[in-house]
Amino acid sequence: MSSVITERGDHGETDLMYGRRVAKTHPRIVTNGSLDELNAMVGLVRVYSKDHPRVPQRMAELQDQLIQIMGEIATLPEDQERYRTQFGVLGNSEVIKLTHEARALENDLNTRFRDWAIPGEHAHPGSAYLDVARTLCRRAERELLTLPEDERPQIVARYLNRLSDFLWLVARQIERE
């Protein structure tokens, strides 16, 4: 068994896919750090939303997609084709699905949102964690946009933008229920 403790990062560098090394402050690493935080928070949503039958399963699916995105972000342009062949990448169909789900939630809520949502106001942990997840998603999106445009997966940028809307709407749905 290999050790988690490699000491390879002691001097401020870390691994990308296919043995590539970059500084821990590289935009790809910073973006993946935020995506990792988002993934952990979505895990908390799963735990604290078990009383909402569809939420834990959907959050698990989102976590799988976030891991897929993290792999794509951790791959330099010269290795992207190899990564796509080996693992696949997020497609436009996931963005479309998320868009449809968000619109359906908005229609189900059947209300006009005029005020700011106050995280934790309704004392439901799942809703509050969703609000934190939404802010982490927005940060990851902003950090992704620091990558050079020709290295930035446009579908991922669209997906993260839609995901933050979706997370906000799920939080409001949980509060309403």
CB neighbourhood size of 111 (10 A): 9
Is 20 inside a domain boundary?
no
For 119-174, write each residue's pLDDT tens digit. 666 667 888 999 999 999 999 999 999 999 999 999 999 999 999 999 999 999 98
Residue 106 lies in a domain: yes
Confidence check: pLDDT of 8 > 80: no
- Residue 65: which domain range? 26-176
Q: What is the CATH number of the domain that holds 131?
A: 1.20.1200.10
Q: Determine the pLDDT at residue 92.
A: 95
CA distance 128 to 37: 15
pLDDT of res. 9: 77
Number of domains the chain is built from: 1
Residue 124 lies in a domain: yes
Question: What is the gyration radius of the CA atoms in the chain, in angstroms?
Answer: 17
Looking at residue 45, its amino acid is: V
User: Which pLDDT value is given to residue 45?
Assistant: 94
Alpha-carbon distance of 85 to 95, in angstroms, equals 21
Question: Is 71 inside a domain boundary?
Answer: yes
Half-sphere exposure of 162 (CA within 13 A, CB side): 20
**Is residue 19 situated within a structural domain?**
no
Q: 108 in a domain, yes or no?
A: yes
| pLDDT one-digit tens code per residue, 21-62 | 999 999 999 999 999 999 999 999 999 888 888 899 999 999
Tell whether 145 is covered by a domain. yes
Q: Which residues contact 154 (CB under 8 A, 6 or more apart)?
A: none
Q: What is the pLDDT of residue 79?
A: 96
Give domain status of residue 161, yes or no.
yes
